[in-house]
Every structure is written in C-alpha cells, then in structure tokens.
Structure 1
Amino acid sequence: MRKLANTEDNLARLDDLLREIHRQLGPLGRQARVSRRADTIQMTIRDAQARLFTDDACQLQDKRDNLRSDPADTRRRLAALQQDLAKAKVRIEQVEAITSGSNSQLA
C-alpha cells in the first residue's frame, strides 16, 4: 500500500511537472519564432551591407583606374598640343618671313 501511495505521489508530481512544461511551451515557442525572425532579419541586413560594400569597392576601383589612366591621357594630349604649338610657331615664322619680305620690298 505504501508503494502504491508513493507511486501515486510520484504520478501527481509528474502531472504537475507536465502542466508546468505545457504552460511554458507557448511562450517558449513564441520566443523561438521571434528569435528565428530576428536571425533572418540580421542575415538580410548583412547581405544588404555586403552588397553595398561591394558596390562601393567597385566604384572606388573604377575611380582609381580612371585616375591611373588620366596621367597617360594627359601626356598624350600634352604631346598633341605641343605638336600643334610647334606647327603654329612654324606657321607664324612663315607668315613673319613673308611679311618681313614684303615690308623690305616696300622700303
């Protein structure tokens, strides 16, 4: 009889524990859903930041490449302008020679 009474007490304690566990399952389930949603949001934010950083890096690389190529372009343009200047000087000298020749004939 005493074993039976102890078994009944143990079953009553088990019932109490089961009720407590079932009572806590609802809030724990909600917390788990909220936690999974927060993890998903954080992952989305990290992905978006990674895409933004990648885009920024690509833009900076393009800018760097453009800056690196600018000196070469500038040198080419300078050389072309120097050639134009040399041609202009030659033309000025030709015009001056013609003009001074005309002036000496007039004198």
Structure 2
Amino acid sequence: MTVAMIFNAGMDGFARAQQDATQASANINRATTAQLDTQQLQLGRQPQGASNGETLIAPVAETPRLEQELVNLQVAELQAKASARVISSADELLGTIIDIRA
C-alpha cells in the first residue's frame, strides 16, 4: 500500500464522516421540530410554520428517533477523528521517507 493510498483512505473516511454528521444533524433537526409541533398540538396551538389548519408533523414512521441520530452523530465524530489519525500517520510516514532519502 502506498502513502498516497493511505492518505486517500483517510480523506475518503473524513468525507464520509462529514456526510454522516450532516445527515444526522438534519435528522436531529427534523425530530426536534416534530416533537415541538406535537407539543404545540397537545396544547391546542397551531405549530409554527403551519397556516390555514395545515399540519407540518411527519408521520411517526418517518420521524427520525432523536436518540439514534445522536448516536449517529457521535459515530461520525469518532470516524472523523480516526480518519484524521490516518491522514496524520500518512503525513508522518511521508516525512520519514523524505528524511531517509535526503
């Protein structure tokens, strides 16, 4: 395996972690908004952003579970840290190779 391949693996892992974190964040937002809308309806109020009696609450099956999305966000963070270590190791390896050859 070459240094370039190691570096690319780290970059790919970091990009995947960023995508996963973005998706988890969006799902956390959706879950939180759905919970707030449900609370508003239970209090007999119209949810924010709703007009003329329309309901903005997603069906229960489509609403992401907040706990699972928080776990997904934590996993994405750990994946980003691991990928950063891979990138750092590739950088150190390349530096060592340059020092040996110089």
Smaller-chain TM-score bracket? 0.3 to 0.5
Structure having greater relative contact order (Cα 8 Å, sep ≥ 6) = 2
- TM-score under structure 2 normalisation? 0.40
The answer to which structure has the higher helix fraction is 1
